[in-house]
Amino acid sequence: MFFPAGPKRTETLTALWKISKVILNTLDFNHVVQNVVDSLLFELNYLKRGYRIIVLTLIDEKSWTLRRISLSQTEEAQKAQAASAVPFHQIEIPLTAVDNLLIKVINERKAGVTSYWPDLFKPVLTVEQALANQSAAGVKTSLIYPVITREKVVGALIFSLIKDIKDVTEEEQDLLGGFTDLVGLAVQNSSLYSSLQATTIQLKEANERLKVMDKLKDDFVSIASHELRTPMTAIRSYAWMALHRSGTPLSQTLEKYITRILISTERLINLVNDMLNVSRIESGKVEINPESVDLKLLVKDIVDEVYFSKSEEKRVEFVVAEKPVPKAFADPEKLRQVFLNLVGNSLKFTPAGGRITFDFFSDGHTVDISVIDTGVGISKDDAGKLFNKFSRLDSSYTAAATSGGTGLGLYISKNLVELMHGQIKVYSEGLGKGATFTVTLPVASAEILEKADQYRVKAQGEAKGLEPVAI
């Protein structure tokens, strides 16, 4: 933009500065576009210079038209509107109408001038209709400037005057140019702001919908799983009794079939329990009641339980390190769930003849309990994935020739341990080299026991009336 030097230039800049404050004072799109068409006439009193109507038009990329957006609030504008055969906002010029002066200004990015309104209204209004509007407004000259934001033409401004073009001074033209640049900026800011606002509202709504759906999902999983557990437990009991307590000798085939029913049902029960646990964790319905826990006793109980149910057939040796261990500060039930899963995994992935060792370490503040096995191990690449939901490594299952497992156990364990202010980590030298899972927990010091209440985790939301489930 060329500005004349000297006092005229200062005047133009002062006027622009004054007007910029009016246009840029709000980000609301509707306000901005109205300020744009009124400020020049009323703030700078361009009415005195013969300016009567200012119209802002903007390109609508959806309908591929140039739409009239705002119109200054002057008497002449009202007269033109009253005379118009088509209401102001419905005058939409197709961008393909290249003989319309507005479209020409937009395409050539160069200001234009006319004293013949049909140039501005074709093909929407007939020549007679456009001329009727012009005579109602008493306009002699219209100047058109392209509105540009970020190098892109977004519309055009029409300045209509009751004087001849030869009476428009150079200073006025400079001001109109500078003013149009300002309008570009204001339109860009306000439409960015409006779209940001619209996006924020949409995001908020989407978020609300997601929350509702998430709750529905949680409720569905809780209810479906809970309903499934009762019949499945019955199937398991009857299958077990048919195998062990029927009093009738079974044929080999029948025994094989019932054994399969038992195994499959157990797998299903585990899956449902896992899903219930995940749903409780994710909907904040887990309660943690920490207290002082004797880790050696806990480990002994778990070994007894697992040994009794599974290890005989697997012939895996259990070793518990003989060393003094401080008591841990944890929820005993939740800790039991964690270790049942860790030991269950070690058993699953350690072939017969292997060993599972429990080791302990403490620095006085925290205590580590490690479950060390001599099983199939974990590759370095896979070690990071284990604690994700549904992370079943095919390599472990293939190497251990075992089946079953959902890949939820470690995800649940990690969440439970973290709710107890602890950590769980995995170490493995690689495939075939065994695995070590270490759980670190706070030591149950007198200090921490005194503040036990602060470490309690209460279930959020209403309780579902479901009893806790074991993994």
Ligand X SMILES: Nc1ncnc2c1ncn2[C@@H]1O[C@H](COP(=O)(O)OP(=O)(O)OP(=O)(O)O)[C@@H](O)[C@H]1O
Q: What does the binding site for Mg ion look like in residue numbers (CB under 5 A)?
A: 341, 345, 409
Pick from 337, 406, 415, 440: which binds ligand X (CB under 6 A)?
406
CA distance to 172, 245, 269, 386, 412, per residue, from 406 (Å)? 77, 31, 11, 12, 11
Residue 186 touches ligand X, criterion: CB under 6 A = no
337 contact, one of Mg ion, ligand X, none, CB 5-8 Å limit per kind? none
Among residues 57, 346, 370, 440, the one that binds ligand X under rule CB under 6 A = 346
The CB-of-412 to ligand X minimum distance in angstroms stands at: 8
# binding residues, ligand X (CB under 6 A) = 23
Cis? peptide before 123, omega within 30° of 0 = yes
Q: How far apart are CA 302 and CA 147, in angstroms?
A: 77
Which one-letter amino acid corresponds to residue 119? D
Kind of pairing, strands 355-362 and 317-320? parallel
The tokens for 41 are 């006439």
Tell me the closest approach of the beta carbon of residue 333 to ligand X, in angstroms. 17
Q: Which of Mg ion, ligand X, none does residue 112 bind (CB under 5 to 8 Å by kind)?
A: none
> What does DSSP say about strands 51-60 and 152-161: parallel, antiparallel, or unpaired?
antiparallel
| Binding at 373: pick from Mg ion, ligand X, none (beta carbon under 5-8 Å per type) | ligand X
Tell me which residue has its CB nearest to Mg ion.
409
**Cα–chain-centroid distance for residue 362?**
41
Between CA 322 and CA 72 the distance in angstroms is 91
Task: Tell me which stretch binds ligand X (CB under 6 A): 3-11, 61-69, 208-216, 371-379.
Answer: 371-379
In the complex, which residue's CB is closest to ligand X? 409
User: Which of these segments, 8-16, 47-55, 293-301, 338-346, binds ligand X (CB under 6 A)?
Assistant: 338-346
Segment contacting ligand X by CB under 6 A, of 83-91, 149-157, 231-239, 343-351: 343-351
Which one, 345 or 415, has the nearer CB to Mg ion? Answer: 345
User: Taking CB under 6 A as the rule, which mask of x and - marks residues 248-277 in contact with ligand X?
Assistant: ----------------------x---x---
Q: Which x/- pattern, by CB under 6 A, does the window 374-403 give for ligand X?
A: -xx-x-------x----xxx--x-------
Closest to Mg ion by CB, 273 vs 345, is: 345
Identify any residues that bridge with 157 across adjacent strands, giving them in sequence order. 56, 145
Least gap, CB of 262 to ligand X (angstroms) = 17
CB of 236 to ligand X, least distance (A): 16
Dist. CA 311–CA 391, nearest whole Å: 25
| Residue 225, contacted partner among Mg ion, ligand X, none, CB below 5-8 A by kind | none
Least Å distance, CB 409 to Mg ion, is: 3
Nearer to ligand X, 285 or 348 (CB): 348
Q: Which of the 8 DSSP states describes residue 249?
A: P
Choices 117-125, 156-164, 311-319, 345-353 (CB under 6 A): range interacting with ligand X: 345-353
Annotate each residue in 15-34 with x if it binds ligand X (CB under 6 A) or - if it does not, as one string: --------------------
How many angstroms separate the Cα of 124 from the Cα of each of 57, 62, 105, 179?
15, 18, 18, 28
Nearer to ligand X, 102 or 408 (CB): 408
Residue whose CB is less far from Mg ion, 146 or 409: 409
Q: Looking at beta carbons only, is 174 or 373 nearer to ligand X?
A: 373
Q: Which is nearer to Mg ion, 186 or 340 (CB)?
A: 340
Nearest residue to 274 (alpha-carbon basis) of 418, 406, 414, 459: 406
Q: Which residues of 153-167 are buried (b: 16+ CB within 10 A; e: fewer)?
A: bbbbbbbbbbeeeee
**435 is an interface residue for ligand X by CB under 6 A:** yes
Q: Angle at which helices 332-348 and 409-419 pack, to 10 degrees?
A: 150
Residue with tokens 């921490």: 448
Q: Give the pair of three-digit tokens for residue 381.
A: 């690449």
Q: Which stretch binds ligand X (CB under 6 A): 63-71, 180-188, 199-207, 373-381?
A: 373-381
Edge-to-edge strands, sheet with 355-362: 317-320, 355-362, 366-373, 435-442, 423-427
Residues 142 and 140: their CA atoms lie apart, in Å, by 7
| Closest to 88 in 3D by CA, of 137, 161, 15, 36 | 137
Q: Toward ligand X, which CB reaches closer, 218 or 373?
A: 373
Query: How far is 181 from 15, CA to CA, in rounded Å?
Result: 14
Shortest separation between residue 408's beta carbon and Mg ion, angstroms: 8
Q: Find the shortest distance in angstroms from Cβ 387 to ligand X.
A: 7
465: alpha, beta or left? (left if phi > 0; alpha if psi -120 to 50):
left
Question: Among Mg ion, ligand X, none, what binds residue 392 when CB lies within 5 to 8 Å by partner kind?
Answer: ligand X
Whole-angstrom Cα distance, residue 227 to residue 222? 8
Binding site for ligand X (CB under 6 A): 270, 274, 341, 345-346, 349, 373, 375-376, 378, 386, 391-393, 396, 405-411, 435
